[in-house]
């Protein structure tokens, strides 16, 4: 009779002291790997980072790639990109919710699987979450009630901020070169 392999339980302290390449999520004592490594995935994340970084002073924001975020006492997530207000404290591990988390789907990812991450971001208090799908060239704008919306044209905005991201322009970068 075969037995299922078990993943060893890690404490928060063990997780925080262990270097992972690439970094991983920590969910209630278990490690969850993140899907990374393909060209279009990395290129889109780079394009998004560059766009926000160019506007950081005008928009009074701080931009970070792959930064650990403690969403509960026993959960850490690592969003592809997080955008924080300059008014928020500068933290090595984010515990203050950023104003925006961005995820880019890898071919192995599904929106259903990504929803668990999104719920953790909402639990922390992140008000805006966007999920980019480079294969379908659209963005899922997540809402706490699960009534997400899709956008493939126009600009993504965050109310009461100057933040505006032209969707088609960002995806067009994937077709260059």
CATH of the domain at 41: 3.90.1570.10
Specify whether the CB–CB gap between 104 and 41 falls below 8 A: yes
Tell me the mean pLDDT in the region 157-177. Answer: 89
Q: Is 68 within the bounds of a domain?
A: yes
Report the number of distinct structural domains present in the chain. Answer: 1
Q: Is 11 within the bounds of a domain?
A: no
Q: Is 19 within the bounds of a domain?
A: no
pLDDT value, residue 62:
97
Tell me the mean pLDDT in the region 43-60. Answer: 96
Q: What are phi and psi of 16, to 5 degrees?
A: -65, -25
Does residue 173 have a pLDDT over 90? no
Q: Is 10 within the bounds of a domain?
A: no
pLDDT value, residue 18:
87
Lowest-confidence region among 7-16, 43-52, 75-84, 125-134: 7-16
Instruction: Identify the CA nearest to 165 among candidates 37, 63, 13.
Output: 63
Question: Residues 3-39: pLDDT tens digits?
Answer: 444 567 888 998 888 888 888 888 988 888 877 768 8
């Amino acid at each position: 009779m075969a037995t299922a392999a078990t993943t060893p339980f890690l404490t928060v302290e063990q997780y925080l002291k262990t270097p992972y390449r690439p970094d991983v999520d920590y969910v209630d004592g278990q490690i969850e790997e993140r899907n990374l490594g393909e060209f279009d995935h990395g290129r889109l994340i780079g394009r998004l980072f560059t766009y926000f970084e160019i506007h950081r002073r005008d928009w009074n924001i701080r931009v970070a790639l792959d930064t650990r975020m403690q969403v509960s006492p026993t959960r850490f997530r690592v969003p592809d990109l997080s955008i924080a207000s300059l008014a928020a404290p500068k933290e090595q591990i984010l515990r203050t919710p950023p104003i925006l988390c961005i995820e880019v789907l890898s071919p192995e990812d599904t929106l259903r699987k990504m929803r668990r991450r999104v719920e953790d971001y909402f639990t922390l208090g992140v008000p805006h979450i966007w999920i980019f799908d480079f294969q379908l060239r659209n963005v899922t704008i997540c809402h706490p009630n699960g009534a997400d919306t899709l956008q493939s044209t126009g600009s993504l905005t965050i109310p009461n901020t100057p933040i505006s991201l032209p969707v088609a322009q960002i995806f067009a970068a994937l077709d260059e070169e």
